[in-house]
Amino acid sequence: MFRGFYTAASGMLAQQRRTEMLTNNLANMNTPGFKADESSLRAFPELLLSRLDGQQPIANRKLPQPMASLVGGLNTGVYVQDIAPLFHQGDLQQTELSTDIALVDLNIPTTNEGSPSTVLFTVEGPNGGVQYTRNGNFTLDGAGYLTMANGQYVLSADGNRIQLTNDEFIVDNDGWINQNGATVARLGVAYAENPLLLAKRDNGTYELDNGTLPSAYDNENIAFQTKQGYIERSNVDPQKAMTELLTAYRSFEANQKVLQAYDRSMDKAVNEVGRL
């Protein structure tokens, strides 16, 4: 009986985590460069149940051995094994702002597991390290540095901050920034062969736990462009997310009904059967 409690409760917890993930995806549907999260559920190991019924004599022994007949398998619940972002290219939206820059994937290989690799802008982390993002909705701060909306500095290919005199500058398809007829810097773009190794941080940024990603400009096997005046929209599919959200809600309610049924059965076993 108690196994049923644990099985239903694990299903409710798994669907609650999926609901939180899908709700976050929908909330960031209009966030530039946001990558939708996807979860994978996995079942706990099954139990093989047997029933003792009758006895079987054992040769050269006085005591008989209980006979066991197979009942079948019992599932012990599910859990959310992993939540990982999907790094598929989002749609481009034209803004005509010089500080908005989008990365366009032209020829990006896939990993051995079939998930796509990706290229990302390099930005300065809050603690001085290097972080990565697909959100090209940049701006200029009071000192003329190119930054994200939250104030994180955008880094050049050399790992330095990019300072401009005003917002009248040009970014070509190869990431070179030109202003007043002179080359200022080249946008830092990193290549993540396996993006699943990146840890998600705040404000649409990612970070590698150990080391840094290599430059995307040095890899001849990939092709991409930087497009000024555009931003990459979120790759969240609202119809799919809403369908999965309703499915998660109903699965949660179904497990809740099972849990309530077990609770009523236990109530009768304790308060009614126990009296007899």
CB 145 within 8 A of CB 151: no
Q: What is the pLDDT of residue 112?
A: 65
Q: What is the pLDDT of residue 7?
A: 83
Q: What is the pLDDT of residue 53?
A: 60
Burial class (CB in 10 A: 0-12, 13-18, 19+), 120: buried
Q: What is the pLDDT of residue 56?
A: 52
* Whole-prediction pTM: 0.79
- Among the listed residues 134, 88, 117, 112, the one whose alpha carbon sits nearest the alpha carbon of residue 193: 117
Helix 2-27 / helix 238-268 crossing angle, nearest 10 deg: 160
Give the DSSP H/E element, type plus range, for residue 11: helix 2-27
**Which DSSP symbol is given to 232?**
E
Tokens 């200029």 belong to 140
Beta bridge mates, 176: 186
Q: What is the pLDDT of residue 203?
A: 87
Encode burial over 191-217: b for 16+ CB neighbours within 10 A, e otherwise: bbbebeebeeeeebbbbbeeeebebbb
- H, E, C per residue of 108-154: CCECCCCCECEEEEEEECCCCCEEEECCCECEECCCCEEECCCCCEE
Long-range contacts of 160-167 (CB under 8 A, 24+ apart): 160/185, 161/124, 162/187, 164/140, 166/140, 167/97, 167/98, 167/99, 167/140
Q: Which tokens go with 252?
A: 């949660």
**Which DSSP symbol is given to 100?**
B
| Parts of the chain with a pLDDT under 50 | none
188-204 confidence digits (pLDDT tens)? 999 999 888 899 998 88
Q: What is the pLDDT of residue 218?
A: 86
Q: What is the pLDDT of residue 115?
A: 74
Instruction: Give the DSSP per-residue string, 138-202.
Output: -EE-TTSBEE-TTSPBBBBTTS-B-B-SSS--EE-TTSEEEETTEEEEEB-EEEESSGGGEEE-G
94 Cβ contact partners less than 8 Å away, ≥ 6 residues apart: 229, 230
Rounded Cα distance, 99 and 171, in Å: 9
- Residue 92: CA count within 13 A, CB half-sphere: 14
Q: What is the pLDDT of residue 136?
A: 95
182 Cβ contact partners less than 8 Å away, ≥ 6 residues apart: none
Dihedral, CA of residue 17, residue 22, residue 28 and residue 34, to nearest 10: 90
